[in-house]
Amino acid sequence: MRDAKWNLLLVRKRGASAFMQPGGKIEICELPVNAMVRELREELGVVIAGDAPTHIGRITAPVANEPGSMVEGELFELTQPGEPVAMAEIEKMLWLIPDHAGDSELATLTRDAMMPRYRRSSEASDNEHCHRQISILPWHGRLI
């Protein structure tokens, strides 16, 4: 989720040290978009329609704290339908200023795969002088 100033909402799950985008694992036979809808409701109390998100792409990175494992994430974007509230396994929420990403511990997928893409989108928006809606950029990973 990002705000009008392109600050990015990240979450830290209970027992973890790194911040990441909201999201979670895709259940058996579940479509990635349905997993996103479910995870946002469970973790942040945000309710969205399944046809609202736009699929941005797939990203892959090493899993933090699991040497030799990789995680593959589906990245979506949609207009924010409400205010997020930390729920379920979410211990803390953080609005990250993209230029200060080094100030917080970020999950590998967030730091190495998602942040560079996010910065490019933010710079393009600044260059175009356009106003952006608040959006959600969750990922839904599966170990590969």
Question: Alpha-carbon torsion 104, 10, 125, 33, what sign?
Answer: positive
* pTM, rounded to two decimals: 0.75
Question: At residue 18, what are phi and psi to the nearest 5 degrees?
Answer: -100, 150
List the pLDDT tens digit at each of the 144 positions of the chain: 666 677 788 999 999 898 988 888 888 898 888 888 898 899 999 888 767 778 888 888 877 667 788 888 888 877 666 788 999 899 999 888 777 667 788 888 888 877 777 766 655 554 443 333 333 445 555 544
Residue 118, both tokens: 């996010």
Q: Are 110 and 50 in contact (CB under 8 A)?
A: no
Region 11-98+107-143: CATH code:
3.90.79
